[in-house]
Structure 1
C-alpha cells in the first residue's frame, strides 16, 4: 500500500501561512534556501514518498504544495504577485481561529468551495460564460466527476480513500502492463478477466483500476448501464483488494444519476473504452506539472491533449473525457455525427464557424442560453427535432434519446488495426530529423488521420511524407500529385473512354483513392497511407466532392456520384498532404478543409529543418566541404525578406551524396538563383547579385576577417572546415 501524504500536506499548508506571517514583505515562490518551498519543508520534512520525483523531475512534495497553495489563494488567505507569496489579513486571522492543521485545511477547502460557488451564483454571468447544468441529475454528475478531477488528476490521491496516493505513474504503469499489454483474449466475461488479470497486482493498482472503471461508466444513464451493473463492474475490481475499500456515498449518488446515452460502442466494448481512459490518464500522469496544470485549467488544451494521445481513435470515449473534465465547456453529446448535425442546424452563418466543432458548439450553446435565459439541451423536445428529423427527445433527466445511432464501429476480434511503429534510428537516419519530431508527427497522424506538411520549396516535404508513409505502411504507401486539371474522376472514380472491338464506349474506372480504400477494407489490421503531393495545386472542392464529409466523419456512410452503394473511409487509411507556402495557399484553403487536417511546418529557419543540412553534411564528410554549404544557405535565407520564399536544404543534398565545390556552384546557379529570379520577377537583375554564391562567400570572408580572434570561439555560426 502506498504511504499517505495527506497529513504532511495539511501541516505544510499551515506552515506556509506561519512563514508568510513572519515575513510581512512576502516570500519568493522558489525552491532555493530562502524560497517558500524550502522553508516549508524545513518545518514539515518530506516523507520518502514525497521525496520521489515525478516525470517532470520535480519532488512530489513540492508539486503537492504548488497545487494546495491554490486553495489558499481562492480562500483569500494568500496572494501570489510577481513571484512573491504574501499572507492577507484574513490569512493572519485564520491562523488564530483554526489552530490545528486539519482544522485549518478543512476550513480552507470550505472557503474555496464557497468562493467557487459564489462566482457561479450569478445566473446571468453563468449563461454568458459557461454551459450550465440542465437538471439536478447533471448537477450530481458534475459534482461527482469533479472528485475524480480534483482528487485523482490534481492531487494524485484516491477518489475512494483520499489518504492514499494511487493516481501515480507507478500504479498506472502496472495497470497498462496487466490490462493493455497482456490482454486476456480467452473465454469469459469482462469481470472474470479483470479479476484474473489483477489477482497478483498491487493494492494501489487495483484501487486505481476500480476508480478508472467507475469514472468510465459514470456518465451513462440507467437505460445504457443500470446502477446494479455499474456497481457490479466496480466491485469486481474492489473485491481483489487485500484491504477492503468502500465506494463513497457521493460516488454512489453519481452512479445513480447518469446523464448520457453513450452509444453501443462504449457499452459493448468495455475493453477498448478502458484502454482509451487508461492511456489518457497515463499520459497525463507522465506529463510535466506545468502541462498538467494547463490542461486542467484550459479546456482547449485538454481537448488537444486527449486527442493527441495515441491509440485507437474511439471518438465517443474521447469526447466523453472532454465532458467529464470540463462539462462547463463541452457538450454532453459524445457522437461526432450528432455534433456535426447540431452545429449545422444552429450555426447562423458559415463565417461563424471557428473550424473546431467543439468551439462552435460552445459558442452556439452560450448564444442559445443568453437568448432563452436558461440551460440548453440539444436532445430535448424543443431542440432535437430541429437537427434530427423524426427523432424522439430524451426523457427528462436522462441521456440522448432511444433513437440515437450507435457510435463508431469497433474492429472485430483479429481485425484490430496495428498501431504505428515508433520512430526509430532507421527513420531518423533516412530523413536527418530528430526522433522526437518524427514521433510527434506519427502520433498526430494516428490521432487525426489527415496531416499536411507545409513550408517553402526544398524543405523535404515530399521526402519526409513518403518516409513517414513507408515507415507506417511499408509497401502499402502510395503517392498521387494534384494539379489544376485534376478532378474527382481522376482521384476517386469516373467514367473513362475505352475501345472494345473498335467501338468507343465508357467504363467506370477507379482512381487511386478508391483503389487504396478497397485494399484497406480487405486488410483491416494493416495501415495504408496515401500521400497527396502538392495538395494545394488542385481544386480541393472539385477533387474531393462528397468525400469532404468523410474526412471528418469516418464512420458515416454516404452515397457516391457514380455508385449507389454506401461508402465510408476505413479507419486504417491515413492521408499525408504536402503544401508549398510560397503561393499563399494555406490562407486560401477554406475552413472546412483546414479543420479536417492537422498541420506541421517545415521551415529552414526552425527545427527540425534548420539542422537537416548540417546533419547530412556530417554524414557525408567525404565531400570535404565541412559546413560551408549550411552556412551559405543560412546566410542566403537571412537576405530573403519573405520567410515564405526561403530556400530549403534539399537543394544542397544531391541524391548520389556527391557535393563538391563544382557541384555546389552548379546547383546554386542552375536551381537556386532561377527560383529566386522568379520570386523577384520584374525587379531587375541587380537584385539577384546579392544572392550569387561568390557574393555570399566574399561577405563571409570579410565578416570572418573582421571578427576579433578572442571572440571567434563565441560565434554561433556552424563550424567550417578549412
Structure 2
C-alpha cells in the first residue's frame, strides 16, 4: 500500500467533502448500502465539479474514484466496514462525524487513523519484499467490490506474486471478496472452496446476485472485470501530472491499405474498430466491453477480449502528451497525441476511432537501425497497439531539435551497455594474455554467445566464471549444468505440479520459470547491465530439445516469437541484448564436429588446448607465481607428447592444486585422476595404461630430457636400477 498524498489529492478533487458526505449517508442508513448506491447518492447530494466529472485513465469518473479510494483508507482506519451486503459506518466513524463537523478536519482525522493502523501493520510484518507484496495483494483484494470481479492473474500482476500464491492467499484470507476472484476465462475456479468449511453458497449465484453478468458458458462479463491496470490506479491514486507514455500504433497495413500518408497529412492516428457502431465518447472500459459483446458477438471470447483491450487502450490509456510511433516500411514517424479520441464513420471502416497527432518528423523519418534497441524486438508483435513506455526517453531523443532538450532526453534514456575491457590485473590472475582476454570480451559483445571447448582440466569453467564476474555483479550471473535428461522445461519454463490457485488443496499444473527465464526477465528490467548465463558441459544435453524456439532468438535479438507455452494473447517474447551466454564443452566427451550446425552458427568458439596458448603456458606461470620449480610443467609436457589425440590431452588444472605439492600428492593425483582418464581413452585397445603412462617413467623423461622410448613388456623394470621407489616433492 502507499500512503495517500493529502495535499496533492485535495488540490484537484474535493476528497474531504466527498468523504464527509459518504459518512453522513451511511450514518443515516440503518442497513448496509451497496457501494454503487452510495457513490450515486453522494454524486446526487454533492454535484461533481467539472474536474470531478472527467474520466481517469481507466475510464472512470474522478469523483467516483475518489469516493471508492478514500473509503478503502477509511475501512483500514476503522471508520467503515465493507462486506457482502455493502458498506456501513462503524462506531469510530460516527464518533468522527460528531467530533468534526467540518469536512477538512474530519478527513485528516480519518487519514491519521489510517496511517496509524497502516504503520502498526507494517511493524507487525517482516520487513522484506514478500511481506510488502502480500500487503499490496491484500489492499488490491479489498478493492474488488460487489458487481465486479478480477482474476488471479490480475492480482498476481499487481502484487508481483505468482497466481498460485495469490490463490492460496485468497483461500485463507478473511476478506469477504475472495469469491470475486475468477480464472482467466471468467469462470469460477473448479477447485474453489470457501475459507469457512461449513459454507455451501454457490459463488456464481452470489456474483449474479451482486449484478455480475454471465454468458451461456458461465463466463463473467469482461465489462465488469477489474483489470490489473485499474487496480493499480485505485491502489496508487493519481498524484501530480501523469507520466508521459509511448505507444506503437500500426497503420501501415489496415485491412490491406497503408494509412500512414493520410495520418501524416491530416494530423491524426487511428484504429479501425470496423465492426463497432458510432460511439458517444467518453466510454469506460465496462461500457466498451458491453458494446464489443454485442457488435462482435459472432467472434470468439478471446477475440472479443482482445478487441476490448485494443479499444480501451486507444480511448482511455493513450493520453494527450503521449508519444506515438508508427512506420511505413523501414521509415518510422514519431508524433505527440494532442487531444481526445473521436468516433467517426470512415468511408472504408478502416479508421473509425481517431486521435489528433502533431507529427514531429513527417519530412525526416527515423531509420529502423536508429531505433532504440529495446523497441526493435517489439516491432514484430502482432498486437495493434504496443506499450513502448520503457523507451520513451530514447524515442523522444530521436526527434527533439534544440540542444538542451536533446541533452535532457539523453540523460533520461537508458545508457548504452558497454562491457568492461580486459585489464592487466585480470589477465595476470587468470594466467592468460590481456590480448586473448580482450578477444573473448569482444566476441561476447559481438556475438552474445561463446563456448570454451577443450580437453578436461584446461580451466574452461573457471575462465567462464571469472570473465562473467568481471563483466557484471555476482547476482547477475547464473550457472547451470546440462546433462542428458535436461529439457526445455528445466531450462526455460514448463508446467510443474502445484497447488490449485484457489488454495483448495487440490493439485494442478502451473507454468514455472526456469533459470534462463528468470535471468532474462531480470535483464529486461535493467537494460544497461550485463546478465551472464554460464552453461557447464553444454554438449551433454540434447541442445535442440533444450533450447527449442530460443535458438532463433539467440541469433535474432531484434525479433520476437511466440514461446512454446505462450497463450498467444501476449506480445511476442524477445531476448534482451544485455543477456550473454558462455558455455563450456568437454571435447573428450564429444567432438565439436558433432555439434548441431544451428548451435555452431549461433555461438563463437574459443579453443583451450594444452598444446596451444593460452593453455600451454598456464602451468609454468602458476608455478612461477607460487615460487615452485617447473618440474611438473615438464611432466605435463612429456605426458601430452605421448597422447596423440588433441581432444584427450591433459589440462594443467590437475597440477594446480596445493595438495599435489604435499608429500605423495603428485602420485596420488596421478593414480586417481590422470590414469583413469587415459584408461577411458584407450578402453578396448589392449594398452597397459599404467605402464605406458607410468608416473616414474614420465618423471624420468621430464627430468633427464630423454627422447621418447617405447614401454618395456609388462613385468620388466621400466625405470632401470637407479629409478626411485617413491617420488617426493623435494626434487
TM-score in same-fold range (> 0.5): no
TM-score of the superposed pair, with normalisation by structure 1: 0.41
Please state which structure has a larger fraction of its residues in helix.
1
TM-score of the superposed pair, with normalisation by structure 2: 0.40
Higher Cα radius of gyration: 2
Please state which structure has a larger fraction of its residues in strand.
2
